[in-house]
Chain A
Amino acid sequence: MVALDAGGAPIAFDGARKVRRHLTKARIRWVIVALVLIFGAVAGRLVQLGLVVQDNTIEGRARDLITATRPAILDRNGLELAVDVRVPSLFAEPRRIIDVNEAADAIHSVLPDVNVDWLRQRLTGDKGFVWIKRELTPAIEDKIMQLGIPGLDFVTESKRFYPGGPEASHILGAVNIDNQGIAGIEKAIDNDDVALLQQVGLARGNELAPVNLSIDLRVQHVMHDVLVDAISRYQADDASGIMMDIKTGEVLGLVSLPDFDPNNPVTALQKDSFNRITAGIYELGSTMKSVTIAGALDSGKVKITDSFDARFGVRFGRFTIDDFHGKHRILTVPEIYKYSSNVGAIHVMQAWGKENFRAFLHKLGFDQPEPLQLPEKRNPVVPKTFSDIVAATSAFGHGLSVSPVAMLRAMAAFANDGKMVMPTLYKTSLDDAQKTYEQVVSEKTSEEMRYIMRLNALEGSGTRMNKFAQGYRAGGKTGTAEKVINGRYDSGKVLSLFASVFPLDQPRYAMMILVDNPHTEPGQGGHTAGWNAGEATGRIIARVAPMLGISPNFDPMLDSQLVPPELH
């Protein structure tokens, strides 16, 4: 820097290097600004992408929920009662469809039952997802894929399939198109945990452990078969039955006719096809005498050797209660059971005490809804306190309506050394079942009850049953309850029942059979319970006993061993 002219202002020159350095600095600044802007834009875009919520729902429901599976339902031997079938379902993304008319016509050519106008309307718009048709076959999936229309695709859905058709329908229930249980054990499973699993998305694939029911499909089939036959044979309105293992409480078969096809859930909603065993309550007629006599014997106030005067009807004010097929003589306790004497049952109950009777019904759970896991239930109708006349009619099964399951449980307890088990539809071990045991009557009473049950089969109203179930040492009690039609008992319309236990020398299974409004089978004897519900019971026992490992034994010693020592 040299001053050239001392008079003028000094002129300063920057060196070439310095100038370039300044220029470089400015350029670098600009580059930095540009880079910051570019990277800012990239970062902004990234944040924006991260914030986009992907619409994974299908018409408001999560995709996982639609494709979720349900556990297979197996019977006690591992045979499938309900399985999931994976089927393709066709959906469209209208916003990706280019030519709506072409697409609609093409789909219509493969699925002729779909309306073209409806299709056009469905495919128009900019929605992300619409169902076209659900639960198709793989063949149709191939055909539609070959059409090559953009915007059409498939979701693999699970569809419930019941290989047995209507046979176990009332146990299994049904599911709706979204695979949610709407009745029966399917609904019970949902209430337990499957719904929760599906909600958190764990129920995908085939990961769910199958549910093992206590049902034995062979027993179920035999019961269904015999009861279908019973309806036509006795021209009955409907029929139902349940069989239980008295040691473990496992229900082996439960049939209620008319039933429905769970593969077509609409039929489940028909009025008449409700589950009569769990959702029905009935006046159980003379089968109640088992309860009356068991309770009275257990109290000690009535002994098996006692006799009661059944010569005359019992008067309550204007009413007289008499016997149906009266013997009109003095009857012993086993005879009251054998001849099903109403008068005798009333005397037994009176000797025992009506409060004790009511308390015993509570102990047996007759005033509670039945405890099976099915959601279909109904509260029993049992008066809180018994007046003299209600106690008297209840002693032979009129004036109180209870579930057949309650009666089954009581019969099982009377045969199982007085130990009442909790009935269940799930496979259970004996150890677990024993934890639910309640001692309702003594072992001695149980022995006496086994004797009179068998006696009734040998000499009383159960002989028709015994004729079919020869050798299986079955016994039980008939019941013929007049039905209430328009508020009055109608003797022309009855409900026939048979409560049974077999084999009585080593009791293992209890069964209740109900036949509603039976008629006399052409060429046969009568229309009381022994002739229809009894015969059906006998036919079922004869067919299922060998399957359950009970071999017939005609040794008369087995029967005589049942006789209590007092009656030798």
Chain B
Amino acid sequence: MIRSLNILLVCSSICMLVAVYALKYSAEDVAAEKVTLQRTIERQQADLSLLKADWAFLNQPANVAPIVNRHVAELDLQPLSQDQFGGIDILPMRLKAPDTQALDSLFESLKSGVDPIQQIISESN
């Protein structure tokens, strides 16, 4: 009776020993993994902060304005002047019905070989 109990106890302590050591090693592995992950996170946070700073720098008016100034001539850029603003209320209302007379006269003049729009363009040139 006592003998079998002893065998049982010895076996269980060996098992415990193995388990505890396994646990210890796995804990060490996890700790090492944690440190690696922390390093990676730290590195990525650093990279992210650099990218964010880059983004902020590139978006600054102080950075964009010189780029605009460099391309003023090529893109024919001009500051918006006050008389170039408009509102929806200053647009004329749409005509209730098409102006049939004007359209007829336009088609007639086109038929006879005279293009009034082309005339306006050539006059303005």
Residues of A within 8 A of B (CB): 79-80, 83-88, 138, 156, 161, 163-165, 167, 206, 217-218, 220-221, 224-225, 470-472, 542-543, 546, 551-552, 554
State the Cβ distance, A68 to closest chain B Cβ, in Å.
14
Q: Closest 4 CB pairs between A and B?
A: A221-B61, A80-B56, A86-B46, A163-B57
Q: Is the interface of A mostly helix, strand, loop or mixed?
A: mixed
Q: With A83-B56, A543-B79 in contact, is A164–B62 under 8 Å at CB?
A: yes
B9 in contact (CB, < 8 A)? no
Nearest-neighbor residue (CB-CB) of A157 within chain B: B46
Which residue of chain A lies nearest to B61 when distances are taken between CB atoms in the complex? A221
The reply to whether the CB of B73 lies closer than 8 angstroms to some CB of chain A is no
Q: Which of B47-55, B92-100, B101-109, B113-121 contacts A (4 or more CB under 8 A)?
A: B47-55
On B, residues with C-beta under 8 Å from A are: 42-43, 45-47, 49-50, 52-53, 56-57, 59-63, 65, 79-80, 82-83, 85, 87
How long is the Cα–Cα vector from A543 to B68 in the complex, in angstroms? Answer: 15
Which listed residue, A163, A471, A546, touches B60 by the CB 8 Å rule?
Answer: A163
Q: Which residues does chain B contribute within 8 Å of A224, judged by CB atoms?
A: 62
Partner of A218, one of B45, B61, B82: B61
A542: which B residues are within 8 A, CB to CB?
Answer: 82
- Beta-carbon contact of A206 and B45 below 8 Å: yes
Task: Please tell me if the beta carbons of B61 and A84 are within 8 angstroms of each other in the complex.
Answer: no
Interface of B is mostly: helix
Chain B nearest CB from A161 CB (Å) reads: 5
Known: A167-B60, A552-B85, A554-B82; 18 extra A-B contacts, CB below 8 A, are A80-B53, A80-B56, A80-B59, A83-B56, A85-B46, A85-B50, A86-B45, A86-B49, A138-B47, A156-B42, A163-B63, A164-B61, A165-B62, A167-B62, A221-B65, A471-B85, A546-B85, A552-B82
Cα distance, A456 to B53, chains bound together (Å): 46
Chain B proximity of A219: nearest CB distance (Å): 10
Nearest chain-B residue to A167 (Cβ)?
B62
A residues less than 8 Å from B52 (CB atoms):
80, 83
CA distance A472 to B83 in the complex (A): 11
Q: Could you tell me the distance between the alpha carbons of A206 and B79 in the complex, rounded to whole angstroms? A: 40
A51 to B45, alpha carbons, bound, how many Å?
Answer: 36
A507: min CB distance to chain B, Å: 19
Instruction: Check A85 against B49 for contact (C-beta < 8 Å).
Output: yes
